[in-house]
Each structure stands twice: as structure tokens, then as C-alpha cells.
């Protein structure tokens, strides 16, 4: 039974959401966002309505500036929305895109005194006892945190240049209010919309909720950065800063300072001799490697988080920053997505349709030929075209129409991947409008699929499972014997036969293990002998 405190909490929660809704509407009207929306239509009636609504309001600032300032005032969730939009210059006017690009790393900073106080509170030491030097002027400021440069001595006594990331104060209450509002609106959409159950709005918001709260823990971000750094070792396409674990705290993160040129400064990169088309291709390779090989990917790849190294030994490599949002995929998700992409790049639309039905994304009774024809009609016009000739807005609109017609269910666990893919495609469009996204990705995916079903993959799986099998196999005869001893007699004959079959299987596995071990050892001795011969 709910008591008075729960009723009071519900009233407080309702009032908090109402107050936040009123604040959002007030800020939108103050900056004339209603005028921006209505003036984008060519209907004479809407234009007259726009003139009426703007009477008495001073809206002299450029439209892009007004939109940017409104998003900054509304808080981190809206700033992140603006960051995603800023990469889509194919969907926005140039003046608006230029202003939104300021949200990537030029959000107004908070007071440096607060940043220093946060650092000192986190490490319980004065700032001078932590760093050899600390620049109070932030070098970058975004929706969740801001960054200062400093120097410190590592465990070996070496002086190191570092970047210090400090969480903005008071972020959690603001984010929680907006998320509560989003949860409420998702519930309305699910109940009132004909597509509510198919779109799964509450599950999508729940995924967004989880990622945003993860971003507020800088220790989690440091761990994600360390994992990505290990994964990318050997790829020689991207640099990821080292984390200084002695100076990591939920509110403060100290990492290696990276020296590069922001990827948005294309003219400067060209002057320095960076191969921009190659940079675009490398970005696609990095993305697909993280997604399909590792199942662990940087999910906030807007230009504010990417630089390019111009140091002689790492010239032209990406530098990734800000690992607050990372995405993960299960083996099932990776396999399914890779099969879809591979079939898509081969224009095997029938296989794409079959995969959608097999996965349960569309109802089981869906006709394969009808879904195949619909997918072909959406995708075929955009093959063999550079990015500059692809209208993403048209593709999305037609895909949405198709998904509604065939009752395609939204997959909440893939929403972050879809957002990142939009970032990558937008970044590629800025770097090289002539980039053929499909041709760049196809060889990688085909090789990955071949590796997944080849002998190397089988050996890796056997190696990974060997310790578990080695522990389990000797126990099977005893377990089956105990089962025979304590269960009904009518089943004994079948179980005895199963026991004999298991013993034969054990002997076969032991033989194969012996032969395989002998083969591997023989091969190792041959390679060792060959190396000794070359050395001598």
C-alpha cells in the first residue's frame, strides 16, 4: 500500500517534470526556435503566422547562434543532440552547421576555481602537491566536462605533460530531470501511437539513460579508454592516450596529453601534407574494426573528439579523445550485423530480407519476396555513388516508411551503433565527399566474415574452450554413473548407451588432442630449426 510519502514523491516528481517542461518551452520561445521551424516552410499561411508570433520579441541574432545558445541553456542532453546534428552538413544550412560545431568543444566553461576545488577535494591534496604546473584556463569545454593542461611526475620521476578532465558541477540533477521527462514522453508515445510497440520508445530511452549516467563516471571512461588502447594496438591507424591511474577519480581524469591538429581544420591538415582521402578511408576501417572485430567501439566520434597526429613517427594517424560513451555488441549481434552488411554490399537483398525474418525483427509470416523488393527499392539508387550524391534524409525517410509497412521492430541495443554510424558518415562527408563508403567497407567485412568461418577461428575457439573442456570431460562418466544409480530403472539402458558413447567420444578427443599437440610441437621445432639455420 502506498503511503503519504510515496504520494508526496509522485506529486513532487510531477511538479519537477512540469517545471522542466515549462523551462524548455520558455527557452525555446525566448530564442525564437518556433520562428526557425515555421520559417523553414514555404506555406504563405505559416509565414504570416511566424510574423504574428514574433511581434514584440527581439530576434536580431543569426538563426544558428540562437539555436546554439538555446541548446547550451537547455543542458547536456540538448548539447549532445546539437553535436550529432553538427556533423550532418548534408541536412543543415551551412550557417547553422557552423554554429552547432561550436558545441563540440567550445561550450562556455565553468569557473576554474570550481575545477581546482574539485581536483583538490578528489585527491585530498592541494593542486601544487599534485601537479608541477596547472593551467587554470581550460583548453576545451563540452557539455559534461572541461579540460585543462598540466604537468606532473610519474612513478618513475619523469616529467609528463597531461590533460586533466574535470566533471561539470551539478550535472546529475539536470540530466535526471530531462531523462524523467523523456521517460514520461516515451510512455505516452508507446500508449498513444499506432507504432508505439514497434518503436520501443521506453527501451530506447532506457539505453540512452544508461549511457548518459555512465558518462558521469570518469573512472569508467578511463577504463574504456584503456580497453580501446589495447584493442587498437597493432592497427597503426589511431592513437589513444595513456591513463594515469593514480590520478583517476569519478570526477577527475588525468591522461596523457595528445598533440595533434583538430580534424575539422582541413586546410591546415592539407598544408601539412596529410592525405585527406586516405584519412577518410582509415576512419571507416577503424570504425568497422572496433565494431565487428572487437565489439567495443568509440560511440561519440564527432569532430571535437578527433585530432590528427603530425608528429614524424605517427604522421597522419587519428587521435581519439573523450571515451565517456562507448558501445558494446554481443557475438550474436556482431555476426548478425556482419551478415547483413555483407549481403547488402553484395546487393543480395533476398539474404537481407531472410536475415530480418530469421532474427525476428519482422513478423515470421512476412513474405521474403515482398520485403526483398522493398529493400532493393530503398538501397539500389545509392550504390556506386560518392557521399556527396547521397541524400541521407531521403534514405532515412524511405527506410522509415518501409519499416512501418513491414512492422520492423526497433532494436534498442543497436541505437548507439546507428548514432555512431551517422557520425562516421557525416565525418567522411566532410573529409572526402568523393568517398565511396560501400566500396571502402566491403573488403573489410568480407575478410572478417571469412575469418569467422575459417580454420583460424576454429583453432581460437578450441583454445579458448580447452580449459573448460579439460575440467568437464573427466567428470562426465562419474556424473552419468550417479544419474544411472539414482534414477528409475526403465531409463538405464538408454543412459548406459549414452555413457558408452561418451567414453568413445572421450577416447576420440584424447587421440585428436594428442595428434594435434604433436603436430603443433613438430611445427614449432621445424620453425626453430629454420631460424637457427638462418642465424648460423
Q: What is the mean pLDDT of the segment spanning 229-245?
A: 94
Please check whether residue 304 lies inside any domain of the structure.
Answer: no
Specify the pLDDT at position 407: 76
Q: Residue 387: give the domain boundaries.
A: 328-453
Residues 405 and 481 in one domain: no
How high does pLDDT run on average in the chain?
77
| Phi and psi based region of residue 347 (left: phi greater than 0; alpha: psi -120 to 50; beta: remaining) | left
For residue 292, give the 3-state DSSP assignment: helix
Please check whether residue 67 lies inside any domain of the structure.
Answer: yes
Q: Around Cβ 123, how many Cβ atoms within 10 Å?
A: 17
Please check whether residue 426 lies inside any domain of the structure.
Answer: yes
Q: What is the mean pLDDT of the segment spanning 125-144?
A: 93
Specify the pLDDT at position 232: 94
Specify the pLDDT at position 412: 64
Residues 392 and 474 in one domain: no
Residues 432 and 481 in one domain: no
Q: Among residues 353, 389, 358, 269, which one has the least CA distance to residue 319?
A: 269
- By annotation, the residues acting in catalysis are 300
Q: What is the mean pLDDT of the segment spanning 509-514?
A: 49
Please check whether residue 46 lies inside any domain of the structure.
Answer: yes
Residues 463 and 438 in one domain: no
Measured over all CA atoms, what is the biggest interatomic distance in the chain, rounded to whole angstroms? Answer: 92
For residue 297, give the 3-state DSSP assignment: strand
Alpha carbon distances (Å) from 530 to 427, 523, 525, 533, 536: 48, 11, 9, 5, 10
Q: How confident is the model at residue 55 (pLDDT cuts 50, 70, 90)?
A: low
Residues 443 and 476 in one domain: no
Please check whether residue 401 lies inside any domain of the structure.
Answer: yes
Specify the pLDDT at position 514: 47
Specify the pLDDT at position 523: 45
Alpha carbon distances (Å) from 191 to 196, 201, 203, 274, 404: 6, 10, 14, 53, 17
Q: Among residues 142, 103, 92, 107, which one has the least CA distance to residue 430?
A: 92
Please check whether residue 385 lies inside any domain of the structure.
Answer: yes
Please check whether residue 143 lies inside any domain of the structure.
Answer: no
Q: Around Cβ 151, how many Cβ atoms within 10 Å?
A: 14
Specify the pLDDT at position 4: 47
The set of cell numbers assigned to 300 is 561519440
Alpha helices in 2-160 (DSSP H): 4-30, 33-39, 44-53, 63-74, 76-86, 94-100, 112-123, 127-130
Specify the pLDDT at position 2: 47
Distance from C-alpha of 284 to C-alpha of 297, rounded to nearest angstrom: 12
More confident residue, 198 or 183: 183
Residues 435 and 481 in one domain: no
**β-pair partners for 160:** 152
Residues 448 and 332 in one domain: yes
Q: Among residues 316, 407, 293, which one has the least CA distance to residue 357?
A: 407
Alpha helices in 454-491 (DSSP H): 455-472, 476-486
**β-pair partners for 243:** 255
Q: What angle do CA 497, 500, 506 make, to 5 degrees?
A: 140
Domain C-terminal end among 43, 67, 102:
102
Helix axes 276-288, 437-453, angle to 10 degrees: 40
Burial class for 148, CB neighbours closer than 10 Å (0-12, 13-18, 19+): buried
Quick: pLDDT tens for 398-449. 665 677 677 777 666 677 787 787 777 778 878 888 877 767 777 777 777 7
Residues 433 and 351 in one domain: yes
Q: How confident is the model at residue 181 (pLDDT cuts 50, 70, 90)?
A: confident
Cα-to-chain-centroid distance, residue 492:
54
Quick: pLDDT tens for 81-130. 777 677 666 567 778 878 888 877 678 899 999 999 999 999 999 999 99
Give the best-scoring range by mean pLDDT among 314-328, 351-365, 484-498, 515-529: 314-328
What b/e sequence results for 328-366 when a residue is b if at least 16 CB atoms lie within 10 Å of its CB, and e otherwise?
ebeeebbebbbbbbbbbbeeebbbbbbbbbeeebbeeeb
What's the number of domains the chain is made of? 4
Q: What is the mean pLDDT of the segment spanning 478-497?
A: 60
Distance from C-alpha of 535 to C-alpha of 528, rounded to nearest angstrom: 11
**The residue to which cell 598533440 is assigned:** 259
Domain C-terminal end among 184, 211, 238:
211
For residue 314, give the 3-state DSSP assignment: helix
Asked if 74 and 31 touch (Cβ cutoff 8 Å), the reply is no
Specify the pLDDT at position 321: 92
Q: Among residues 287, 285, 291, which one has the least CA distance to residue 413?
A: 291
Residues 42 and 82 in one domain: yes
Asked if 85 and 393 touch (Cβ cutoff 8 Å), the reply is no
Alpha carbon distances (Å) from 417 to 89, 214, 299, 302, 328: 20, 16, 7, 14, 9
Please check whether residue 323 lies inside any domain of the structure.
Answer: no
Residues 424 and 460 in one domain: no
Amino acid at each position: 500500500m502506498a503511503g503519504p510519502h510515496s504520494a508526496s514523491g509522485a506529486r513532487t516528481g510531477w511538479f519537477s517534470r512540469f517545471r522542466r517542461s515549462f523551462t524548455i518551452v520558455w527557452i525555446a520561445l525566448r530564442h525564437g526556435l518556433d520562428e526557425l521551424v515555421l520559417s523553414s516552410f514555404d506555406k504563405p499561411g505559416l509565414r504570416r503566422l511566424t510574423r504574428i508570433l514574433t511581434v514584440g520579441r527581439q530576434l536580431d541574432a543569426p538563426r544558428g547562434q540562437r539555436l546554439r545558445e538555446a541548446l547550451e541553456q537547455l543542458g547536456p542532453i540538448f548539447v549532445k543532440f546539437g553535436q550529432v546534428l553538427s556533423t550532418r552538413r548534408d541536412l543543415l544550412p551551412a550557417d547553422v552547421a557552423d554554429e552547432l560545431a561550436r558545441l563540440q568543444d567550445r561550450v562556455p566553461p565553468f569557473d576554474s576555481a570550481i575545477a581546482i576545488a574539485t581536483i583538490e577535494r578528489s585527491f585530498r591534496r592541494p593542486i601544487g602537491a599534485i601537479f608541477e604546473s596547472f593551467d587554470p584556463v581550460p583548453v576545451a569545454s563540452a557539455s559534461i566536462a572541461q579540460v585543462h593542461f598540466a604537468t606532473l611526475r610519474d612513478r618513475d620521476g619523469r616529467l609528463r605533460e597531461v590533460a586533466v578532465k574535470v566533471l561539470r558541477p551539478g550535472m546529475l540533477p539536470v540530466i535526471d530531470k530531462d531523462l524523467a521527462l523523456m521517460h514520461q514522453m516515451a510512455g505516452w508515445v508507446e500508449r498513444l501511437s499506432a507504432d508505439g510497440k514497434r518503436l520501443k520508445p521506453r527501451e530506447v530511452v532506457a539505453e540512452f539513460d544508461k549511457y548518459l549516467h555512465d558518462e558521469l563516471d570518469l573512472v569508467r571512461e578511463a577504463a574504456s579508454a584503456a580497453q580501446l588502447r589495447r584493442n587498437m594496438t597493432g592497427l597503426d591507424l589511431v592513437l589513444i592516450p595513456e591513463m594515469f591511474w593514480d590520478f583517476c577519480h569519478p570526477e577527475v581524469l588525468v591522461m596523457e596529453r595528445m598533440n595533434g591538429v583538430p580534424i575539422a581544420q582541413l586546410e591546415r591538415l592539407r598544408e601539412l601534407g596529410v592525405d585527406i582521402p586516405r584519412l577518410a578511408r582509415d576512419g571507416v576501417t577503424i570504425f568497422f574494426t572496433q565494431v565487428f572485430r572487437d565489439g567495443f567501439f568509440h560511440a561519440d566520434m564527432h569532430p571535437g573528439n578527433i585530432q590528427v597526429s603530425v608528429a614524424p613517427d605517427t604522421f597522419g594517424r587519428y587521435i581519439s579523445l573523450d571515451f565517456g560513451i562507448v558501445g558494446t555488441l554481443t557475438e550474436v549481434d556482431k555476426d548478425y550485423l556482419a551478415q547483413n552488411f555483407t549481403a547488402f554490399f553484395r546487393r543480395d537483398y533476398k539474404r537481407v530480407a531472410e536475415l530480418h525474418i530469421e532474427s525476428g525483427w519482422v513478423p515470421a509470416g512476412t513474405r521474403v519476396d515482398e520485403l526483398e523488393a522493398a529493400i532493393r527499392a530503398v538501397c539500389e539508387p545509392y550504390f556506386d555513388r560518392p557521399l556527396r550524391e547521397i541524400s541521407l534524409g531521403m534514405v532515412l525517410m524511405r527506410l522509415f516508411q518501409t519499416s512501418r509497412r513491414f512492422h520492423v521492430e526497433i532494436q534498442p541495443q543497436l541505437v548507439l551503433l546507428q548514432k555512431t554510424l551517422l557520425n562516421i558518415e557525416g565525418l567522411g562527408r566532410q573529409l572526402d565527399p568523393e568517398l565511396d563508403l560501400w566500396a571502402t567497407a566491403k573488403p573489410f567485412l568480407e575478410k572478417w566474415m571469412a575469418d569467422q568461418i575459417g580454420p583460424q577461428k576454429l583453432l581460437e575457439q578450441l583454445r579458448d574452450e580447452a580449459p573448460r573442456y579439460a575440467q568437464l570431460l573427466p567428470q562426465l562418466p562419474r556424473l552419468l554413473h550417479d544419474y544411472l544409480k539414482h534414477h528409475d530403472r526403465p531409463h538405464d539402458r538408454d543412459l548406459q548407451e549414452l555413457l558408452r558413447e561418451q567414453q568413445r567420444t572421450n577416447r576420440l578427443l584424447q587421440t585428436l588432442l594428442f595428434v594435434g599437440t604433436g603436430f603443433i610441437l613438430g611445427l614449432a621445432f621445424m620453425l626453430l630449426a629454420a631460424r637457427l639455420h638462418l642465424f648460423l
